[in-house]
Amino acid sequence: MIRIPCPFCGVRDHSEFSYGGDGSVQYPALEASSQDWHDAVFQRDNICGMQTETWQHVNGCRMWLLVERDTMTHEIRSVRPAQTGLTTALEAIK
C-alpha cells in the first residue's frame, strides 16, 4: 500500500485516492493546432523514476493533488494541492 500525505487530511492509504495521470500534461489553448492537442491528449513521457502525477482524494477531502512519486520504487517525494491558489492559502495558515 502506498501512503499519501494529503495536505488537508494527513497520511492516508492510497486506496482512498483515485489516480489521475501524468501531472505534467498542459492542455493547449482551445484554438491551438490539432497537432498540439494530439500531443497533449495522446503522447506521454512514461517516465521510469520520479514523475509528477495527479491523484484525487475521493474518499477524503475530494481535492485534486499533485504528487511527486517514483514510478519504480513508489516512494513519494512531495504532495501539494493541484490548484496553485490553495498552496498559497495553505502556506498562509502555517
Partner 1 sequence: MTRFSAWNVFWNGVTGQKGWSRQWRDPEPKSHYDVVLIGGGLHGLATAYYLAKNHNIKNIAVVEKGWIGGGNAGRNTTIVRSNYAQPGNREFYEDSLKLWENLSHELNYNVMFSQRSHISLLHSPGAIDGAARNYNVMRQTGTPDVEIWGLDQLKTAVPHLNYGPNARFPIMGAAVQQRAGTARHDAVVWGYARAADALGVDIIQNCEVTGITRNTNRITAIETSRGTIKTHKVGLAVAGNTSRLWSMAGMGQLPIESHKLQAFVSEPLKPLLDQVVVFGMGGAHFYISQSDKGGMVFGGDLDWYKSYAQKGNLPIVQDVAEAAMAVLPCLGRVRLLRHWSGVVDMSMDGSHFICKTPVDNLYLNAGWNYGGFKATPAAGTYFADLIANDRPHKVIANHDLKRFERGLQIDERGAGADPKLHG
- Chain positions contacting partner 1, by CB under 8 A: 1-2, 13-15, 18-19, 21-22, 34-35, 38-39, 41-48, 51, 53, 55, 69, 71-74
> Which of Zn ion, partner 1, none lies near 60, with the C-beta cut-off 5 to 8 A by kind?
Zn ion
Amino acid, single-letter form, for residue 85: G
Residue 70 grid coordinates:
517514483
- Which residue in 69, 48, 83 sits closest to 5, CA to CA? 69
Residue 53 or residue 81: which is nearer to partner 1 going by CB?
53
> Which of partner 1, Zn ion, none lies near 26, with the C-beta cut-off 5 to 8 A by kind?
none
Contact 68, 51 (CB under 8 A): yes
> Phi/psi zone of residue 89: left (φ > 0), alpha (ψ -120 to 50 degrees), beta?
alpha
Asked if 61 interacts with Zn ion (CB under 5 A), we say: yes
Residue 31 or residue 42: which is nearer to partner 1 going by CB?
42
